Homo-oligomer: A and B are copies of this chain.
Amino acid sequence: MRSVADNSEVGGKDGKTLASERLREAVIRGEVAPGQRLVEAELVERFRVTRSSVRAAIDELVAEGLFERVHHRGARVRTVSLAQAVEILECRKVLEGLIAAKAARRVSVTDAKRLRAYADELTAAVRDGEPLRYSSLNHEMHAALREIAGQSTAAELIGRLNAQIVRHQFQLSLRPGRPQVSLGEHLAVVEAVIAGDAPAAERAMRDHLDSVIAALDSSG
């Protein structure tokens, strides 16, 4: 059984998977404004999938907290308030703390090298004044930490939480002076993890997230 437009050239994915990936991507890249109404028929011809797939994809993203549904009024991009963003960051704070602690306990020599490389690149990005590169490296390093920690449950929760506040995060990363203060915190985390000091790593990571929360709070 094939979809109308036969999207098998895209890969082995079925319509639902394709649609949910494209939708998630669109939200994260900010192609759909928060509060904007999503018309199913529009997405159908945009993604070239059936309406069933679009519908299933929306359901999935509603479950992830990215969209919200109102009965007979369709789905809209969920707008997350500042207070909610803070709540989410508080959860991330303790979960990332867990990740950092476990990473410190499991870190290998190759892991340490990789982390050191990230630390150097982050420093270079700040020195050269490249906020976008810094932000991207930042995410990569956090991902590396999650990988080292080997805590897939926490990693998945963090990923889900992060997706809900990409807008706030992005806005924050562009604030002048922000990378400078963030860099030191990141380096502290990396050092503690490499040293295998789990409590210090957790503390450093939580301090970092506290700093992010404070910055977001003040930005209003």
Question: Which chain A residues have a beta carbon within 8 Å of chain B's beta carbons?
Answer: 56, 59-60, 63-64, 84, 87-88, 90-91, 93-95, 97-98, 102, 151-154, 157, 161
Q: How far is the CA of A19 from the CA of B84 in the complex (A)?
A: 29
Copies in the complex: 2
Q: Which of B60, B64, B87, B157 lies in contact with A91, CB distance below 8 A?
A: B157
The A contact surface, by secondary structure, is: helix
| A29 CB → nearest B CB, Å | 22
Q: Which of B60, B63, B94, B152 lies in contact with A94, CB distance below 8 A?
A: B94
Chain B residues whose C-beta falls within 8 Å of the C-beta of A59 in the assembled complex: 56, 59-60, 63
Q: Is the CB of B84 within 8 A of A94?
A: no
Q: Which of B91, B102, B151 lies in contact with A95, CB distance below 8 A?
A: B91
Measured CB to CB, the nearest residue on chain B to A164 is B153
